Structure 1
């Protein structure tokens, strides 16, 4: 008890010290209150919720608690902990949404938690969802959360699939399904994309589906204009790639490839075979093209036939493997030739076929390979 009193007396001094420090570096920051209720709030956030002093001081600017109304925050904490929230979850949630401590347990939290648990968000899935997307606690259960959940279940086919998708994109449960997501899904199907492929795209990259409708329509038309039909298996991958950048970025990447002597027709030919090649940054495309064409002396047609080469990391895959093959070739143990299959094989197979296999004949070969990999990483 004495320690708590001492801490409470110390808090105003800490606040003043923090204000003095912050005011010199961030003059636009609002003054920190040193009134008793603010000190009590900070004390509660530190001792009961687990926040750090700095975090508690920051949160106390948005939340004021008093000794007379502390029962509700305490009830909220007890409720959260009873539902698997660890201290890290509690801290993260309060830092994002301090107002959660003012929520009614019976009227707000309990009905939503019961619904989520009944639909598969059990164990750590529940606190992970809430801390990733605290908006769940602010949306109405009947008019927002339930309809949204039912819509996703109708599209994806099961609770399990939705849970898997929401782990990667928690906002889907509170996004506006009716005005944003549903129109995009309907547009894709109307354009001829098979429904199962729409589902596949959502599962693989959920954020794609909540683009603005005009942007989605633009991307669909852009991919169609490249010669890919919506029914084609590669269409959804090309669409994902197209939606990952704006028109300006697309043109910049095209220019990078043209600078290596590629025609627009060749670029689009490669894109249609493996759309993700243009999802890489301009710098990565430039490095990969330079290494493949100028160091490996790879034929342009070989890259067009297998654009996946452009996705490989120069530092982590291309150069380490090339260094090993160059040594083996110099010792006439293998002949590199023009085939680049060694770039495509798995790490395990490359080690077995090119490193371990010749380890006795070329002492230090493994060290060369691993050393190159480590230093370049």
Structure 2
């Protein structure tokens, strides 16, 4: 390829990307007559990297011009196993040294191992892109032992696959020195395998903390009268492990600020630990609404702690608005201070629409529109993912009901 081509390529690219000032020195050098290196050309033409990414990568990484077949064999193997051009570009951008790995002796056995375990081609590509270091770890001393440990403590192969898809780093960690001792500790405390399995699949980092810290957390949970044999025990461990003692105490004080006793806070925690995993800002806003606007007594939240976890903007306020409209139309009894209406916030969307919207459309024709508008209006960002999801769900149900 001629130097004129390189100059034109660079010129067009820089016109389209005028902010690429960090590459001005490299561009100037090329334009003075020095062609792009083999590494840059290969990264662009064979791997699909952009010019700026290829130039940046080539500063710390070089390919041998005499070994293109070696690099091609890596790309061919990836394509054979379903890696798209986008997948390959993303992988090489993250981990260019994968091109230096022997395709037949190292990469292929690892790919076959993952496929043989149960991962699909698409799952393998997602897994490797999420954690490219999989290709760097020893199959014999790291990948296989990690999967063996997971299989030992997770209830099914399907759950192991789910765990690794959610947390791809699990397969590359030295689990025998991190996760295994903590699992043995929980077993010794009487935690059933079902609880341990839930932690590994959904919150594995809890089991990678230092064992002495986990011991301390376990003792705290036991002092709260949460038995190791119930599922709530591992949830409580997760929540306490996720925050500092300072944050924990601050959340307790937040509840006390609303007139709660510490025992009432602990009662809520024992029933649903994740209530205290909510941010202080969320808890404060929900409590202000439930206790201030709705005049609910703390006993309502204690008996139904899940209400504290619902979204204020996407669920509580919009549903409260519907209830207030029905109250004003004298279609339901007074709702403020009435504990039974706190259960409304926990209803599935379809159930709520059937019981509190569709049921009354004959007397309040615009009730559905009011509800949809309220979901959007009560959000600071009406394009936020939670609000968008809520509205999409409502619109889907409207279509199903023929509205």
Please report the TM-score for the alignment, with normalisation by the length of structure 2: 0.85
The DSSP-based 3-state class of the residue aligned with 2:92 is helix
- Aligned position for 1:26: none
Q: CA deviation at 1:15?
A: 10
Q: CA deviation at 1:353?
A: 1.2
2:244 and 2:26 map into 1 onto residues whose CA distance is 42
- Aligned position for 2:376: 374
Q: Cα deviations across residues 178-219 of structure 1 (Å, max 9, x unaligned)?
A: 110101100111122122221122223233322222332222
1:268 and 1:157 map into 2 onto residues whose CA distance is 31
2:70 and 2:21 map into 1 onto residues whose CA distance is 32
Q: Is the 1:32–1:61 contact (alpha carbons within 8 Å) kept by the matching residues of 2?
A: no
Q: Cα deviations across residues 217-255 of structure 1 (Å, max 9, x unaligned)?
A: 222122112221212331111112112222222122122
2:98 and 2:153 map into 1 onto residues whose CA distance is 31
Residues 157 and 282 of structure 1, relative CA distance in 2, 3 Å threshold: closer
2:183 and 2:237 map into 1 onto residues whose CA distance is 13
Among 190, 194, 205, which residue is 1:196 paired with? 194
The DSSP-based 3-state class of the residue aligned with 2:275 is helix
Q: Is the 2:114–2:124 contact (alpha carbons within 8 Å) kept by the matching residues of 1?
A: yes
Moved over 4 A (4+): 9-23, 29-38
1:178 paired to 2:189: no
1:73 paired to 2:71: yes
Q: CA deviation at 1:85?
A: 0.7
Range with bigger deviation, 145-154 or 271-280: 145-154
Q: Cα deviations across residues 263-301 of structure 1 (Å, max 9, x unaligned)?
A: 111111111011100111110011111111001111111
Q: Is the 1:76–1:101 contact (alpha carbons within 8 Å) kept by the matching residues of 2?
A: yes
- Aligned position for 1:234: 232
Unpaired stretches in structure 1, ≥5 consecutive residues: 24-28
Among 281, 284, 305, which residue is 1:283 paired with? 281
Q: Is the 1:234–1:273 contact (alpha carbons within 8 Å) kept by the matching residues of 2?
A: yes
Q: Is the 2:153–2:196 contact (alpha carbons within 8 Å) kept by the matching residues of 1?
A: no
Among 326, 350, 354, which residue is 1:352 paired with? 354
Among 107, 117, 120, which residue is 1:119 paired with? 117
2:104 and 2:86 map into 1 onto residues whose CA distance is 24
Among 353, 363, 366, which residue is 2:365 paired with? 363
- Aligned position for 2:382: none
Q: Is the 1:169–1:207 contact (alpha carbons within 8 Å) kept by the matching residues of 2?
A: no
The DSSP-based 3-state class of the residue aligned with 1:326 is helix
Residues 253 and 70 of structure 1, relative CA distance in 2, 3 Å threshold: same
Please report the TM-score for the alignment, with normalisation by the length of structure 1: 0.90
- Aligned position for 2:136: 138
1:243 paired to 2:241: yes
Range with bigger deviation, 306-315 or 121-130: 121-130
- Aligned position for 1:129: 127
Residues 60 and 19 of structure 1, relative CA distance in 2, 3 Å threshold: farther
1:134 and 1:189 map into 2 onto residues whose CA distance is 33
- Aligned position for 1:312: 310
The DSSP-based 3-state class of the residue aligned with 1:334 is coil
Range with bigger deviation, 185-194 or 309-318: 185-194
1:291 and 1:185 map into 2 onto residues whose CA distance is 41
Residues 164 and 233 of structure 1, relative CA distance in 2, 3 Å threshold: closer
RMSD (CA atoms): 2.5
Q: CA deviation at 1:171?
A: 0.8
Range with bigger deviation, 11-20 or 42-51: 11-20
Instruction: State how many pairs are aligned.
Output: 370
